């Protein structure tokens, strides 16, 4: 269930001092605090920091104001907490965000301005990490855990971020290929109607809608159950409740209900859900939008029936029918399912590479 109150500690000074036992040690006039989502200057500054972080890490920026508001808005703070470091003029120079993603797994965003002097940048980084460690203890204790994982990411070519993470006790645990495939207008007929089509005993369809236009809850639960079952043995899979799953996906700025598909076997009288794809829209300010495969899962018992390929063809056809020019996705470079081979065979190519870095935090500091 989604908690009414956040499991995190909202006072950043209290969290940092509980970890360091001392003052933060910033330059004179610099302060640790929280961003104000109602302050357009704070939101603009966070957006600038995020985009600069992306440009330096992979060569271009894609995030915008909506991505920042997911982290800092009142709705987002039900499952998140944020900290910022401000200079003597009040300008934000570093930003950290934590997300209570699922039981045992806490996501951590770690961004430090690129133009800071090295000694100050290092200090800001250390403060963000120690704050995240304190938040990991808080959320882990609230969930009744002995150990809370911190899961953070880095671009593969971001050496500065790598040095900070390694020096702070994080371990590089996985590599992810961020892939993209061009879409042409003629692919709109790839499947017939992407809303509902059938091939070799498998029906591919959008989740149903109620009379009020909202998605059918039973279909949404089928999507959740298929994905939970399909990923149960995958790397760093943590069980997520239906409520947590739905709340998190609806926060995505690219979320659209008409981008959720189910695949069902029709071997028996009652169709059996065996695959699911959740897509989003990747909006662009300088050209056509794209589609993105946020989740694609197929039950093990149905593999070899063309389910994954059919779902991918569905989102390609849907993207083409909407005038979009690409479909993106992420794949585990070490996936045991051979997913990368399927994507490559269907035209996907790696655009850039990211990494997962983890640190396990004992909830009781005396055990660490």
CATH homologous superfamily for the domain 12-176+357-367:
Gcn5-related N-acetyltransferase (GNAT) (3.40.630.30)
Instruction: Please tell me the chain's helix, strand, coil percentages from 3-state DSSP, rounded to the nearest 5.
Output: 35, 30, 35
pLDDT at 339: 83
Confidence of residue 367 (pLDDT cuts 50, 70, 90): low
Confidence of residue 233 (pLDDT cuts 50, 70, 90): low
Domain ranges of the chain: 12-176+357-367, 184-324
Instruction: Specify the CATH class of 184-324 in words.
Output: alpha beta
Partners of 126 in the β-ladder: none
User: Tell me: the pLDDT tens digits for 255-314?
Assistant: 999 999 999 998 878 889 999 999 999 988 788 999 999 999 999 888 888 999 999 999
Do the first three CATH levels of 12-176+357-367 and 184-324 match, i.e. the same topology?
yes
Backbone angles phi, psi at 291, to 5 degrees: -110, 155
What is d(CA 95, CA 32) in angstroms, rounded to the nearest whole number? Answer: 10
Tell me, yes or no, if the pTM score tops 0.75: yes
**134 three-class SS:** helix
**136 three-class SS:** helix
Cα torsion angle, 244, 248, 251, 254, sign? negative
Confidence of residue 338 (pLDDT cuts 50, 70, 90): confident
User: Considering only 66-75, 122-131, 171-180, which range has the smallest mean pLDDT?
Assistant: 66-75
H-run or E-run covering 55: helix 40-58
Joined together, the tokens standing for residue 251 give 């926060």
Contact 298, 318 (CB under 8 A): no
């Amino acid at each position: 269930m989604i908690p009414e109150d956040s499991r995190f500690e909202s006072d950043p000074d209290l969290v940092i001092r509980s970890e360091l036992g001392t003052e933060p040690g910033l330059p004179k006039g610099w302060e640790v605090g929280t961003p104000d989502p109602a302050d357009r200057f704070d939101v603009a500054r966070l957006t600038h920091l995020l985009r600069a972080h992306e440009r330096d890490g992979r060569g271009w920026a894609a995030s915008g104001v909506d991505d920042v508001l997911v982290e800092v808005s009142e709705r987002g703070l039900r499952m998140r907490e944020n900290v910022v470091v401000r200079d003597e003029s009040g300008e934000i120079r570093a930003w950290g965000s934590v997300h209570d993603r699922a039981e045992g797994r806490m996501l951590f965003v770690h961004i430090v301005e690129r133009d800071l002097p090295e000694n100050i940048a290092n200090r800001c980084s250390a403060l963000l990490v120690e704050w995240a460690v304190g938040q990991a203890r808080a959320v882990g204790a609230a969930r009744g855990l002995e150990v809370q994982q911190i899961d953070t990411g880095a671009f593969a070519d971001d050496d500065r971020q790598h040095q900070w993470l390694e020096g702070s006790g994080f371990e590089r645990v996985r590599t992810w290929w961020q892939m993209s495939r061009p879409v042409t207008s003629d692919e709109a007929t790839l499947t017939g109607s992407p809303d509902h089509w059938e091939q070799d005993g498998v029906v591919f369809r959008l989740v149903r809608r109620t009379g009020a236009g909202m998605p059918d809850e039973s279909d949404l639960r089928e999507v959740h159950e298929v994905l939970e079952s399909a990923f149960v043995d995958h790397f760093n899979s943590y069980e997520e409740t239906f409520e947590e799953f739905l709340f998190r996906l609806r926060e995505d700025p690219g979320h659209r209900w008409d981008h959720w598909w189910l695949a069902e076997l029709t071997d028996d009288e009652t169709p059996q859900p065996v695959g699911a794809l959740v897509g989003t829209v990747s909006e662009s300010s300088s050209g056509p939008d794209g589609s993105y495969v946020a989740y694609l899962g197929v039950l093990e018992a149905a593999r070899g029936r063309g389910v994954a390929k059919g779902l991918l063809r569905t989102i390609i056809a849907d993207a083409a029918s909407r005038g979009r020019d690409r479909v993106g996705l992420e794949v585990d470079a070490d996936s045991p399912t051979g997913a990368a081979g399927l994507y490559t065979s269907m035209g996907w190519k790696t655009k850039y590479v990211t990494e997962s870095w983890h640190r396990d935090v004992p909830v009781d500091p005396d055990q660490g």
